[in-house]
Structure 1
Amino acid sequence: MGRIAKTCLRSMLKGVNSVMGMVGIAMILYSLWMIRVWQRGMDGPSDVDADSNGLWFIYTFLGSGVTLCVITFLGHISADCAHGYCLSCYMVIIISLLLLEAAMTADILLNSDWEKDLPEDPTGRFHDFEDFVKSNFDICKWIGLLITLAQGLSILLAVALRTLGPNHGFYYNYDSDEDYAPERLPLINNKAQPPPYVNVISDPRFATNNNTWNANK
């Protein structure tokens, strides 16, 4: 029963964790598209210097997507890991990510001039993204809630999976250590074998031959 519960929890954790992976892949693709558009703009007349820091938003967006993909990979590995150390690291990373997202959300909601804290974006990609979010606020809101819910469920499932104990099924094909106890403890079950000469002396055939030899003498 415990093995079935672990299998279900591992599958659920992988499924929920895949949501962040899909978001990360989408962010990477969008970042590559923005880089391609910027390169096309650099071929023609443009006010953006190639050596300037105008690509901070594109690089930040790309780094965030790569980070989500790495966290997704770590979550899949942690789901099949035999020790709770990987699950603990995964939970710490997800909690830190949630705290960072909460801090950014609070700063946007409480600080009306939060845009002034960011460096200038000569490429215009940040303003285009901001306009897209404002024009599709309902969709973006549900996507944000979905990501937050997936992260929360990932923490709960990781805690439940870690509570059930180590997952031996990933490395072995048994539920208990009792199945291989004789092989692990051979000296306990093996009885002391008598020396070979004891068997020879106690052999009845040998004893009969000795009596016959004594009678002939």
Structure 2
Amino acid sequence: MGSLIRSFFQSLMKMFNAIVGMAGIAMVIYSLWMIRVWQKQTGQSPFDDSDYPVPWFIYTFLGLGVTFCVITCSGHIAAETLNGCCLYLYIMFMFLLLVLEGVITADVFLNRKWEQDFPKDATGNLHELKVFIGQNFDFCKWIGLSILAGQGLSFLLSVVLKALGPHRDRYYDSDEESYAASRRPLLRNSADPSHLVVDPRYVPKK
């Protein structure tokens, strides 16, 4: 019964963790598109040294997308293997990510001049993203809530799996092998008792 519950939580964690991975892939694709547009406008790569202002928005979006993908991979490995170290790392990374998102969300909603907290965006993509979110607020709101719910549920399920511990069935084979090995004779080449050589003087007479 315990293994079934553990497998159920594993499947749920992989499913919600996949939502975070899809968000990361979407952010990476959007970043690659912004890099392409920047190259067309300036004739240079955003990663080259130039006289143009630093396109920090591209860097940030690409970094967040790659971070989402890395966290998703680590979460899938942790859910599959139930390794304690992997689960601890996944819980820590997910907690830090949730705290960061919470701080940014609170700053945007509570501070009307939140744009002044960020450097000037030379690409103009931040303004375009802001206009797109304003025009499609309901759609973007549900997308954001879905990603946030996926992250929160993945975090909670990883804590539950850490509390449940690893599968005990995986250690049965190794335990049996060690038990069988402990019952083996220390000398592998020990003679068979049926073929022992005995002094004739001590052979019982019939």
The reply to whether TM is greater than 0.5 is: yes
Is contact 2:54-2:122 (8 Å) kept?
yes
Question: What is the CA-CA distance between 1:176 and the residue it aligns to?
Answer: 7.6
Q: Tell me the equivalent position of 1:52.
A: 52
State the partner residue of 1:214: none
Partner residue, 2:145? 145
1:128 maps to 128
Q: Matches of residues 60-209 of structure 1 in structure 2 within 5 Å?
A: 60-167=60-167, 172=170, 179-180=176-177, 182-183=179-180, 185-186=182-183, 201=198, 206-208=203-205
Deviations 1:57-106 (A, max 9, x none): 01111111000000000101111234322112211111111111111111
TM-superposed deviation, 1:120: 1.1
CA contact (8 A) 1:133 1:140 kept: yes
Q: Distance in 2 between matches of 1:178 and 1:42?
A: 65
Identity %: 45
Query: Using the alignment, how far apart are the partners of 1:147 and 1:3 within structure 2?
Result: 29
**One-letter code aligned to 2:8:** C
Contact kept? 1:54, 1:120, Cα under 8 Å? no
- Using the TM superposition, give the Cα deviation of residue 180 of structure 1 relative to its aligned residue in structure 2, in angstroms: 4.2
Amino acid at match of 2:25: I
**Residue aligning to 1:33:** 33
Q: Counterpart amino acid of 2:128? A: D
Give me the CA root mean square deviation.
Answer: 3.1
Measured in 2, the distance between the counterparts of 1:3 and 1:89 equals 23
Amino acid at match of 2:99: L
Cα displacement (A) at 1:183? 2.1
Uncovered stretches (5+) of structure 2, i.e. residues with no partner: none
The alignment's TM-score, normalised by the length of structure 2, stands at 0.82
CA 1:99 to 1:82, structure 2 compared with 1: closer, same or farther past 3 Å?
closer
Give runs of ≥4 in structure 1 deviating > 3 Å: 174-181, 193-197, 199-203
Which one has a bigger Cα radius of gyration? 1
What is the number of residues matched between the two proteins?
196
Distance 1:109 1:185, change over 3 A: same
Amino acid at match of 1:29: I
